[in-house]
Amino acid sequence: QKEVEQNSGPLSVPEGAIASLNCTYSDRGSQSFFWYRQYSGKSPELIMFIYSNGDKEDGRFTAQLNKASQYVSLLIRDSQPSDSATYLCAVFPDRGSTLGRLYFGRGTQLTVWP
Amino acid sequence: GAVVSQHPSRVICKSGTSVKIECRSLDFQATTMFWYRQFPKQSLMLMATSNEGSKATYEQGVEKDKFLINHASLTLSTLTVTSAHPEDSSFYICSARRGTGSNQPQHFGDGTRLSIL
């Protein structure tokens, strides 16, 4: 069973603060990791992905990956009320997967208050 | 790039009706497409994985005779909810991958909100 765990929240931060979203996964052989944002009533949209240990930055977003600890995180700098959404962590499992499916966490609900 | 179009966006129909939902990858060929269902305030649930030219792979507990999936081409997959009942009311979302590599994300359609009266 390939599990992806996220704190469901809600995580509440003030505008301008750094929001930190965390995700752990059970399959040590997992290869790549994706962060999606889902606004209420909408479908998920891709924010960024990471597959090498370390940090990857894209604008206000930074993904951090630590494969030894089986941990991936998403930092949102200068949080804005428009960042209020549910953030989904998704994992591509090891090379044995032939269907190409991602395994999703249940999501963390983020609220940024003005 | 990587646009996935899903149609219709909303369906309201009577119990017993069959409903077809289309998912198209507009600017890339998608060997694999995925169908999800999401109930209010709940997480995404994968229903099935659809591969072009072959039978879909259904997740445990998903009735293949009720949720018919056809992946007729590299840009089109359809989900038909047969003889829909009120308990089938949900948000159905498709996604597609551009290729098979591990760094290829899934790109989601806008979803179809199905309401069965």
What's the confidence (pLDDT) of residue A97?
60
The answer to whether B69 and B52 are in contact (CB under 8 A) is no
Q: Cβ contact (<8 Å) for B103 and A49? A: yes
- Give the integer Cα–Cα distance in Å for B17 and A111: 39
What's the confidence (pLDDT) of residue B2?
74
pLDDT of B107 over the 60 cut: yes
Tally of residues, chain A: 114
B31: which DSSP letter? S
Tell me the residue type at A49.
Answer: F
Instruction: Return the residue of A nearest to B3 by Cα.
Output: A45
Which chain B residues have a beta carbon less than 8 Å from that of A109?
Answer: none
Instruction: Return the residue of B nearest to A98 by Cα.
Output: B100
B62: contact with A, CB 8 A cutoff: no
What's the confidence (pLDDT) of residue B1?
64
B71: contact with A, CB 8 A cutoff: no
Q: Which residues on neighbouring strands pair with residue A92, listed in sequence order?
A: A32
- In the predicted model, what is the mean pLDDT of chain B? 92
Instruction: Return the residue of B nearest to A42 by Cα.
Output: B110
Percentage of residues of chain B with pLDDT beyond 70 = 99
pLDDT of B104 over the 90 cut: no
pLDDT of A98 over the 60 cut: no
> How buried is residue B116: exposed, middle or buried, by Cβ count under 10 Å (0-12/13-18/19+)?
buried
A32: contact with B, CB 8 A cutoff: yes
In tens, the pLDDT along A45-96 reads: 999 999 999 999 999 999 999 999 999 999 999 999 999 999 999 998 876 5
Who among B43, B102, B111 is closest to A106 (CB)?
A: B43
Q: Cβ contact (<8 Å) for A101 and B108? A: no
Dihedrals φ, ψ of A82, to 5°? -70, -10
Who among B46, B104, B108 is closest to A43 (CB)?
A: B108
Q: Cβ contact (<8 Å) for B110 and A42? A: yes
